[in-house]
Amino acid sequence: MAMLIGDAIGELPERFIAFSGGQSLAIVAGSSIVIWSLFRLSSLTLLKKLQAMEDPANAMLVLPRKLDFFSNIIIVTAYGIQLISFGWAKLIILDWQLDRFILIDELALLLPFVLMLCAKWYCFYPLSRFVKEHVMTGRLSSGISTRPVWTVGQYMSFQIRNNLMIMLMPLLMVITIKDIVELAMPKDAEGNDTNASQVLVLLGIGLVFIISPLVLKHIWRTRSLPDGPLRSILSDFCAKQKLRYHDILLWDTYSGMSNAAVMGLIPQVRFVLLSDALIENMPDEQIKAVCGHEAGHVKHHHILFLVLFVMASGGLAAMGIDYLDRALKYVFDQRDWTPVIVDYIIFAASIAAIVGWFVLFGWVSRRFERQADVYAAGSLFIPYERPDCLSMHGAATMSNALHRIAILNGISVHAKSWRHSSLGSRMEFLHQLATEPGAMQRYNKFCRAIKIIIAAVFAIFILLGGLIA
């Protein structure tokens, strides 16, 4: 993503950038410090507000998440302004010409974003610690075991490993492959990449998707789940679900997060991850339900279809913007004001495409999450009360697991999530499918239609790419 942004912005006319190289460096650094100060002030203000409350439980579950959400918007907005208006991309691409080196320009382009993100996490640690202490108190009062609240070093390590590197590492691997191919392969007569180069890049991207779990399992501080009753239960459960995997991993989060995940497109590099806090504080049947949710993602091929969605939607959006740019330049006369209008239209279209992509990706992801919940609820081998309804016992077990996860993570069941929906809405959906005849079959058909559309769009993307080539 940073490579594409850098290439595009590096070609923008000078009128988009009002500052010289030295000024850009100073302004970007200064704006990052301002953002850091804003995060520190807002987090400390909220912390004092929560500390002054007699019973901060409800506010504690909502306000920190809202602050984190708006802080992320501030970071993305500020980063975009730094890239374009403050001339950071121009400084990296045109002035310093760091695009001559493999991966260096992308790392430099991402630097302000990464620094602002780390500054947010560092400033939010006191607030996170306060929330975790209340969560820990609630756990102890409910008879749930707990470990000491994580230190600032553990907190920063967790955020960087689990929230930054999960996106950054595969991205950097793809960028490295593309840079190497562009340097090694010859260009055509017009200086563009040949079909052979594009095929090699696509093969490289596919390879990255396949081997990424091998890299991420080390970044995320995982180890094989020790032999014992729980591993035997989960191994038998996965065998009954015909879920093939390489290993079941214990995910060390310093007991700071109760969650599970599945990584890997093919069984040879597929891992099922269960966090330490989840294993420590959930009964076996609920752990099986959580594992069933991850099995649902695999059995319904959600990972594959999300990858196809990313590739097809991103590729078609790039093609569409390129054709729009050519069409506008062809239609309008080449007057002095015309290039300015065209450039702003293309920029607005690019922003709209990015926003639309995030909205649509979140919508698809939330539907897949619910389908995985349905699979988990039906995977416990409890006989259905009705053949056209979800098992009441299975729905209740999965709902209880989701509620337990909310308690362990100190979040409200009504807290919204871009990719996962609120836990409360997912619990209500399971109850609906267990009580409304035919609802489960209709929802599975609905998700099947989503996959067909994604596959069709991907086919169109491949076809258009072949025709253009």
| Domain-located, residue 239 | no
Residues 6+ positions from 237 with CB-CB distance below 8 Å: 288, 291, 292, 379
Rg of the chain on CA atoms, in Å: 24
| Domain-located, residue 139 | yes
Supply the range of the domain harboring residue 35. 1-143
- Single out the residue in 119, 143, 167 at which a domain terminates: 143
CA distance 365 to 370: 9
| Domain-located, residue 260 | no
- Single out the residue in 118, 143, 168 at which a domain terminates: 143
- Single out the residue in 125, 143, 161 at which a domain terminates: 143
pLDDT at 3: 45
Residue 428 CB neighbours (<10 A): 13
| Domain-located, residue 47 | yes
Q: Are 258 and 275 in contact (CB under 8 A)?
A: yes
Q: Which long-range CB contacts under 8 A does 22-29 form with residues at least 24 apart? A: 23/87, 24/86, 24/87, 24/88, 24/90, 24/91, 25/91, 27/82, 27/86, 27/87, 28/82, 28/86, 28/88, 28/112
| Domain-located, residue 184 | no
Residue 164 CB neighbours (<10 A): 16
Q: Are 119 and 159 in contact (CB under 8 A)?
A: no
Number of domains making up the chain: 2
Residues 6+ positions from 213 with CB-CB distance below 8 Å: 263, 264, 269, 270, 271
pLDDT at 152: 93
pLDDT at 367: 96
Cα torsion 245, 248, 249, 251 to 10°: value is: 100
Residue 297 CB neighbours (<10 A): 20
Q: Are 270 and 263 in contact (CB under 8 A)?
A: yes
| Domain-located, residue 306 | yes
Written as tens digits, the pLDDT of the chain (469 aa) is 444 444 444 445 454 555 777 888 999 999 999 999 999 999 999 999 988 887 777 777 788 888 998 999 999 999 988 988 888 888 888 888 887 888 888 899 999 999 999 999 999 999 999 888 877 766 655 666 667 788 999 999 999 998 899 888 888 888 888 888 888 877 766 666 677 777 788 788 888 888 889 998 989 989 999 999 999 999 999 998 888 999 999 999 888 888 898 888 889 999 999 999 899 889 999 999 999 999 999 999 998 899 899 888 888 888 888 888 878 877 776 555 566 677 778 878 888 888 888 899 999 999 999 999 999 998 875 544 455 578 888 899 999 999 999 888 878 888 888 888 899 999 999 999 999 988 999 999 999 999 999 999 999 988 886 555 5
| Domain-located, residue 192 | no
Can you list the alpha helix ranges (DSSP code H) found in 16-56? Answer: 21-52
CA distance 401 to 288: 9
| Domain-located, residue 419 | yes
pLDDT at 396: 93
Say how many Å lie between the first and final Cα of the chain, rounded: 22
pLDDT at 301: 93
